[in-house]
Amino acid sequence: MSSTAAPPPSGQATSAPGRSLSAWWQAAPLTLVFVLFFLIPLALILMVSFWDFNEYDLLPGFTFKNYISIFDGCGNTAELCVTLKTYLSTLKFSFLVWLITLVVGFAVAYFLAFHVRSQGMQTLLFVLCTIPFWTSNVIRMISWVPLLGRNGLVNQTLVSIGVVDTPIEWLLFSDFSVTLAFVHLYTMFMIVPIFNSMMRIDRSLLEAANDSGASGWQTLWNVIIPLSRTGIIIGSIFVITIVMGDFVTIGVMGGQQIASVGKIIQVQTSYLQFPLAAANAMILLTVVLMIIFALTRMVDIRKEL
C-alpha cells in the first residue's frame, strides 16, 4: 500500500533556505562589522575626496578640483602625465611580482601536495614556509640591505671571486630590490590558496590520466592546473591588491626614489592634503576593483569553494 505525502495547505508558505529570521540574525554581526569598518570608512573617503583644502584647513563642499588636478596634463598625447606614469610603474611591479610569486608558489604548493607523502612532513614544511611571517615586514626588508648594498655581502663575494671588478650598483635601491622584497614578503599569499586547491584534487583523476598514457606535463597542464585555478585566482587577488597599495616596501627598498600610487597617497597625507589623497585612493580602489572583477570572471569562486 503506497502512501503519498500530503501537499502543504495553499495558505501556508514554506520558508526558503537561508531566508528565516534566525539566518538573518546569524549574519547580522558580520554585516555590522562590514558596515562599520568598510562601508562607512569608504563612504567617508569618498566624501572627503570632493572637499577642498588649503594649507591649514579642510573645506567641506563639493568640487571636482582634486580629480581634475590628478589628471592634469594627461590630455597631452606627446608625453604621458605623471599620474599615468605612476600607475604604469605600479602595474609593472604588480605584474612582475604576480608572475614570480605564481611560479614559485605553484612549484612549492605542487611539491608539498604531490611529492610529500607524509601528512606530518607536509605540516612541518608548511610551517617552515611561514617562518618569515614571524617577524615584521620592515625587519625582513631591512635584512636585504647588508646583503645587497654596495659594500654588502653579495657584492663583496662577487668582487672577491673575480666575477665583477666593481660593486654592482643596481642590487639595492632599484626596481630589482623592490621586486625581490615583494616576492620575499608575499609569496606565501600565493602558496596557501594554491596548496589548498591542490589538496582537494581527487588523486584518482591523476591515476586515470596516467593510465590513459598522459605524460607528466600533460597531466599538469590538463588536470592539475585547471583544478587549481581557484587557488591561483585567490592568490593572484591577494598579491596584486597588496602590491598595488603598498608604499612601505617601495619606500625602503627603492630608496625613496621610485614612485607608486601608494607612495603618492602616503606623501599627500603627510602634507595634510587629505582630499587629494582621498581622490587618489578612490581612483586606486577603482583600478583594483576592475582587476579583481576581471580575475573573478575566470572562475566562479563561490561555486568552487
Domains of the chain: 81-304 (1.10.3720.10)
Q: What is the pTM of this model?
A: 0.84
Q: Distance between the two ends of the chain, CA-based, in angstroms? A: 44
The pLDDT score that the predictor gives to residue 126 is 82
- Average pLDDT over the chain, rounded to an integer: 86
Enumerate residues 6+ apart whose C-beta is below 8 A from 107. none
Distance CA 260, CA 263 (A): 5
Enumerate residues 6+ apart whose C-beta is below 8 A from 250. 93, 178, 258, 260, 262, 263
Q: Confidence class of residue 179 from pLDDT cuts 50, 70 and 90?
A: very high
pLDDT value at 301 more than 80: no
147 and 157 Cβ atoms separated by less than 8 Å: no
pLDDT in tens, 244-255: 999 888 988 888
Distance CA 211, CA 99 (A): 33
pLDDT in tens, 18-48: 557 787 888 888 899 999 999 999 999 999 9
Distance CA 102, CA 96 (A): 10
pLDDT value at 228 more than 70: yes
pLDDT in tens, 87-116: 999 999 999 999 999 999 999 999 998 888
Distance CA 159, CA 167 (A): 7
93 and 179 Cβ atoms separated by less than 8 Å: yes
pLDDT value at 1 more than 50: no
DSSP state of 58: E
